[in-house]
Structure 1
């Protein structure tokens, strides 16, 4: 297979903020062609989880997303902080903050990218099980999250009805359901 990787010849930051950075690159393709400008959006690493309570209910969040100007269901998650020792610690923290639940088991499902052509970060996906409500939510100032519990069949119906629209969350749910179905069949 031939090498398709580009060389970055020059990078310039156009905008830097806590959650979003825009970088303009000048790149050289393997065939020698120069690509400029090429814009890269830098984001922190993200984590998310399909989270199940002790009795097997799916924890979904309902919240407004200003980019689309719409309110939808999502699974819990957020950014990895510098204080998180691992991705699992990050999702455990996010789950506790956003839902008030702690979990007895976390299974890593892999990672996905929202748009690898322009975004430089990964989202790490988990299946969290054995959830127990231990406290109230501890939301960030800009968060307003409703917690709703659903059965697995209700979750599948929400997917079928296109009521969960965050694409990386749909991907995480797919991998979690696949893992759960494998356990149910003894695989």
Structure 2
């Protein structure tokens, strides 16, 4: 076989493989649900600081902000609670239908009373806790990372996802607000969520 013929055959094979790979990518991209579409799908039974049930259905009927943290958090969680409060203040009456939830990833320490006291000053955020097993189910449903990190002695802290989730009135994921995101950008994202809910 001549060298030019071999090159032609090889380039033809490369083209066929490239076209096949592109077709396969397009097929899978349009036929499989994205991770975002499946976020939040799952069964978990938690409880709010006021003793009400909290589950997937709780997030339906209104747009929501959803954050996973813990009350012994040294920086991320108190900062996020303060930012949520600032967002509500910036939105005023626009946020009358917006709910906000703080779900603990440290249920061993964060009892109903403790989580309720932790968010009480915000005036807007509902504290949520539950058993270790149910918190794990909720975290898995929302693809939340969290891990207990030992400190000196018997103390520990928790590593966890730091983003606030934006949920539409059907309780479905619409996006995130990053930790320490610019206030104007965060408020604009919430306004968009409210306009579409």
**Alignment TM-score > 0.5, same fold:** no
TM-score range for the pair, normalised by the shorter chain length: under 0.3
Q: Say which structure is richer in strand.
A: 1
With normalisation by structure 2, the TM-score equals: 0.26
Larger radius of gyration between Structure 1 and Structure 2: 2
Greater RCO between the two (CA within 8 Å, min separation 6)? 2
